[in-house]
Structure 1
């Protein structure tokens, strides 16, 4: 995902003030961890999510809360025609674990 160069602070502010209904919707769809990092030079965002059930989590895109969030964020980041963030799925190439 990519945030507009002049919207870094606004992007962070909106996430610092995440709507309670958005937080609840994520949790009710099995999201246990969600972190977002910003590369301030390229304006790219990297999101890391953990969730219990991929099928349940995939239903997030159809929720009213999620659609409202996409509309709310459309003015601070690159989006698709439906205001969903333009994102690229990455392929994991390494993990160190126990």
Structure 2
């Protein structure tokens, strides 16, 4: 069995009319950050409150709060896009 290094926690939508004082959450674990990001993106796109992080003793430790999830999901996408405008070493074609 491989070690799970990342977790994603999300709020479970509650169906009902009564007021609840506490919200239910569910957590899933993943081997890689990319798997965790893919799962978190799907839950985030559903409009759910999502948090994520690394499982101890994985280093470096990370805890991503719900307010920082979008920036975490976007980390690394700049390099993956291949857009030369994002590469400071590439000539942009702009006149300075």
Query: What TM-score comes out, normalization by structure 1 length?
Result: 0.28
More helix by share: 1
Q: Which has the larger radius of gyration?
A: 2
Greater RCO, 1 or 2 (C-alpha within 8 Å, sep 6+): 1
